[in-house]
Amino acid sequence: MATGWNRDHESRGITQGGKISQETFIDTYDPSVLRREQYMLYEIKWSNNKRPRQNCCHSTQTEHAEIYFLEDVFQKQRSDPSAHCFITWFVSWSPCGDCCKQIRDFLKEQPNVKLFIYVARIYWHKREINRQGLRNLMNIGVSIRVMYLPVYRYCWRTFVDKEDKYEDYWPRHFAPWIMLYSLELQSILQNIPSCLEVSSDENYTPVFSLCVEDEEQKRALTSANPY
């Protein structure tokens, strides 16, 4: 069906009404499992419009969710170019280095846009291109944080389809992973070497080890306040 709206980015686990299914959210935003799929829950608020737009999308084999958002979703949403716009993304993986470059170019052309990014996990966190990409975003004013428990709660209430399966959702067992990813994000943004080893076993369960040897790194990390 040839519509301007590319449904490929809103097909798997997303309802017609633009909500993510409970199963998909629980599965893809769990930081204790390394799922490949990249999902994005997004919120766009305009200064001249009280109702925010809230919706969901995912990456396809050929295009990451971030690029789909910038090139399709945002372009269809914009009206008055002088209005200020606040965009919040809740992504299951942090943006890759290539997406960070495009996000940066986009924001340079859109000085009225402020972007907040919450990530459930950090994408290939040891690759310098990805680390530098996140730092570059921070340097132009993008807020990047790891999703913490109240944020999961907010996403559940806002973006997840109301089904009968699960009434409530409070993923307490995420806390250690949230802490580890927060420490790693802190070291990325402060440009100090990674202290986190994440590998996975055959069940996609991450195996973490933390190795902090350097005194400067230790100081920087203990001053981190992920919450």
**Active site (catalytic) residues:** 66
DSSP one-letter code for 165:
S
| Residue whose CB is less far from Zn ion, 57 or 96 | 96
Minimum distance between the CB of residue 167 and Zn ion, rounded to whole angstroms? 34
Q: Which of 58, 64, 121, 125 binds Zn ion (CB under 5 A)?
A: 64
Which residues from 72-111 bind Zn ion, rule CB under 5 A? Answer: 96, 99
Closer residue to Zn ion, CB minimum distance, 117 or 221? 117
Binding segment toward Zn ion, per CB under 5 A, in 62-70, 81-89, 109-117, 124-132: 62-70
CA–CA distances in Å: residue 204 to residues 26, 108, 130: 15, 37, 21
Q: Which residues of 14-33 are buried (b: 16+ CB within 10 A; e: fewer)?
A: beeebbbbbebbbebbbbeb
70 sits near Zn ion (criterion: CB under 5 A): no
Minimum CB distance to Zn ion smaller for 19 or for 58: 58
Question: Which residues in 171-210 contact Zn ion (CB under 5 A)?
Answer: none
- Give bridge partners of residue 88 from the DSSP assignment: 43, 116
Which residue carries 């893809």 as its tokens?
28
Residue with Cβ nearer Zn ion (124 or 154)? 124
**Residue nearest Zn ion, Cβ-based:** 99
What is the β-pairing status of strands 113-119 and 85-91? Answer: parallel
Task: Give min distance, CB of 132 to Zn ion, in A.
Answer: 14
Please choose, out of 12-20, 29-37, 60-68, 114-122, the segment that lies near Zn ion by the rule CB under 5 A: 60-68
Tell whether the torsion through CA atoms of 204, 207, 208 and 211 is positive or negative. Answer: negative
CB of 64 to Zn ion, least distance (A): 3
Query: Whole-angstrom Cα distance, residue 136 to residue 113?
Result: 16
CA distance 159 to 63: 22
- By CB under 5 A, name the binding residues for Zn ion: 64, 96, 99
